[in-house]
Amino acid sequence: GLFGDDYMGFGFNITSEKSAAKGPRYAGAFAWGGYYGTSYWADPKAGLVCLFLTQQNPNSHGDVQEKFEALVYSSLK
C-alpha cells in the first residue's frame, strides 16, 4: 500500500507489527512529517513523544533521522 506495511490513522502513520519487527518503533506508534523535514513520532508502549525539527528543502536529511531514532530507543535499554 501507500504506507508500506504500516496503516494510515486519522492524520498520521501507524506502525504495524510487521514494521515494528524491522525497526526500533513498537507496533501502534504513530508519526507524521512535514514538507521541510520536520517530523514527530509518539510511541505509547515506549512512553515516548519525539520531535525532529529540521528546515531543509528538499526535505531529504539522509539517515540523520533514522540515527536519531535509533539513539533514542537504544537509550531506553
Q: What letter represents residue 4's amino acid?
A: G
pTM higher than 0.85 for the full model?
A: no
Kindly state whether residue 1 falls inside one of the protein's structural domains.
Answer: no
Kindly state whether residue 50 falls inside one of the protein's structural domains.
Answer: yes
What is the number of domains present in the chain?
1
pLDDT tens digit sequence for 32-42: 988 887 889 99
Q: Does 10 have pLDDT greater than 90?
A: no
pLDDT tens digit sequence for 50-66: 999 888 776 665 688 88
pLDDT of 25 reads 92
Find all residues with CB under 8 Å of 38, minimum gap 6, and list them.
Answer: 51, 52, 53, 54, 55
Kindly state whether residue 69 falls inside one of the protein's structural domains.
Answer: yes
Asked if residues 32 and 39 have their Cβ atoms less than 8 Å apart, the reply is yes
Kindly state whether residue 22 falls inside one of the protein's structural domains.
Answer: yes
Share of the chain above pLDDT 90, in %: 42
